[in-house]
Amino acid sequence: MSDKKIYLEESEIPTHWYNVVADMPNPPYPVLAPDGSPITPDALGAIFPEALIMQEVSRERWVEIPDEVREIYKLWRPSPLIRATRLEAALGTPAKIYYKYEGVSPAGSHKPNTAVPQAYYNREAGIRRLTTETGAGQWGSSLALVGQMFGIEVKVYMVKVSYDQKPFRRSMMQTWGATVIASPSDQTEAGRKILAEDANSPGSLGIAISEAVEEAASRSDTNYALGSVLNHVLLHQTVIGLEAKQQFAKVGDYPDMIFAPCGGGSNFGGVAFPFLADKANGKEVRLVAVEPASCPTLTRGHFAYDFGDAIGMTPLMMMYTLGHEFVPPGIHAGGLRYHGDSPLVSQLYNEGLIEAITVPQLATFDAGIQFARSEGIIPAPESNHAIRAVIDEALRCKESGEPKTLFFNLSGHGHFDMGSYDAYLAGKLEDFDYPAEAIAAALHHLPKV
């Protein structure tokens, strides 16, 4: 009988992160200042430490992971690669299904993989406070977790609708010592502006980012940390794919297709980019980003320069976007409700090196429940998107008789998302297709550069 779980030794935690820029056919588009002019290093230096700015623009293939960061990674890494034998049997597919389980981190998702190095480089730069935003609470809890390890005070602007829907994520952040504010709040100009327009605003990631950036930019002891989208975040997340490659090598297998849920692109980039390096060397492997039909950034958005936040305070990034004023429908995968996407993922998609598909909300919960009833783990609603796509592919293999090797990133567990499962089980969830008119309208609000 072959092993269910493929483990690595702690000594096999990668010593370097992989920078996909080194293997991209074209260099990344430059980041621009909010007015469209070339960005100055000072503008970024107001909210990020120099080491992270250097990683943001690095073209080096390998970036060394500091020992202190690897030491903290040992709290939950290496994460297991698991063969989904029971799901395979339930589906009756000839496909082999593997998943990398990132829910083993204390915060329950992949996000601490970047929270640790971000807090580390900020502490090295003498920073004592970090502000950030959080949607579903996964990122805020990850930064809260590591802040106290590095003696950094953490303040989290949490999207109001999640603040109300997910009280235990808030308790988690407070348990780890962070301060949590519902966004939009009256503590920043950005928040006050939004509240003046709509006192009942449910908030959005874009608005919360505006608030967190405004506070960080106005205080010299405070920096800002972002949990996804930026190049350095995807760089840190490559520990996932690098471990997975070693694990596949151990069992003499290799994926034909890799799936990951895609919000800002960090867990997708983290799991897929190390395999893209093989693709650059001629290996056949398909990399598929899975998005919600209600927030179809890659599949239906515009590839254009846009702001990362709602107000227009951040630099402009060339990315797929639904428009920075996008206020997403209240779907239950909070981590996938962002108007933009990672510039690296966007460019690779634009150049045809990776694929993207959308799946509707109800079908994702259906897949998550099938997974929970076969493999046991209750997945995060975000992860259910990848599971839906994998099950669909495994069923196609059943029809064609192809024994493909399918691999997905189980980006987190759903223990704090049971309210969403409740709503699904009670028949209260709906599918929502983002309207074409709204996508067309966004085009008129993109910054002119």
The residues binding ligand PLP (CB under 6 A) are 109, 111, 138, 228, 261-268, 335-336, 380, 382-383, 411-412
Is 120 or 408 the residue whose CB approaches ligand PLP more closely?
408
Q: From the CB of 410, what's the least distance to ligand PLP, in Å?
A: 8
Is 127 or 333 the residue whose CB approaches ligand PLP more closely?
333
**CA separation for the pair 178, 184 (Å, rounded):** 18
Token digits of residue 259? 């799936």
Is 122 or 342 the residue whose CB approaches ligand PLP more closely?
342
Question: Using CB atoms, what's the residue nearest to ligand PLP?
Answer: 412
Helix (H), strand (E), coil (C) string for 339-370: CCCCHHHHHHHHCCCCEEEEECHHHHHHHHHH
**CA separation for the pair 128, 171 (Å, rounded):** 22
**CA separation for the pair 268, 288 (Å, rounded):** 8
Is 122 or 411 the residue whose CB approaches ligand PLP more closely?
411
Q: From the CB of 301, what's the least distance to ligand PLP, in Å?
A: 14
Alpha-helical regions (H) of 46-135: 50-57, 67-73, 85-91, 112-124
Q: From the CB of 156, what's the least distance to ligand PLP, in Å?
A: 14
- Angle CA 167–417–384, to nearest 5: 155
Residue 64 bridge partners (DSSP): 16
Is 228 or 420 the residue whose CB approaches ligand PLP more closely?
228
Is 14 or 263 the residue whose CB approaches ligand PLP more closely?
263
Task: Please report the sign of the dihedral spanned by the C-alpha atoms of residue 228, residue 302, residue 345, residue 307.
Answer: negative
Q: Could you tell me which residues come within 8 angstroms of residue 318 by beta carbon, excluding any fewer than 6 positions away?
A: 28, 29, 303, 304, 305, 343, 346, 347
Q: From the CB of 108, what's the least distance to ligand PLP, in Å?
A: 7
Is 268 or 424 the residue whose CB approaches ligand PLP more closely?
268
3-state SS class at 92: coil
Is 287 or 397 the residue whose CB approaches ligand PLP more closely?
287
Q: From the CB of 399, what's the least distance to ligand PLP, in Å?
A: 29
Q: From the CB of 346, what's the least distance to ligand PLP, in Å?
A: 12
Q: From the CB of 9, what's the least distance to ligand PLP, in Å?
A: 26
Q: Could you tell me which residues come within 8 angstroms of residue 427 by beta carbon, excluding any fewer than 6 positions away?
A: none
3-state SS class at 224: strand
Q: Could you tell me which residues come within 8 angstroms of residue 131 by beta carbon, excluding any fewer than 6 positions away?
A: 154, 155, 156, 157, 211, 212, 213, 215, 216, 222, 223, 224, 225
Cβ atoms of 264 and 338 closer than 8 Å: yes
**CA separation for the pair 291, 286 (Å, rounded):** 16
Is 46 or 423 the residue whose CB approaches ligand PLP more closely?
423
Q: From the CB of 409, what's the least distance to ligand PLP, in Å?
A: 8
Is 382 or 393 the residue whose CB approaches ligand PLP more closely?
382
Q: From the CB of 407, what's the least distance to ligand PLP, in Å?
A: 16
Q: Rg of the chain over CA atoms, in angstroms?
A: 20
Pairing relationship of beta strands 16-18 and 62-64 according to DSSP bridges = antiparallel
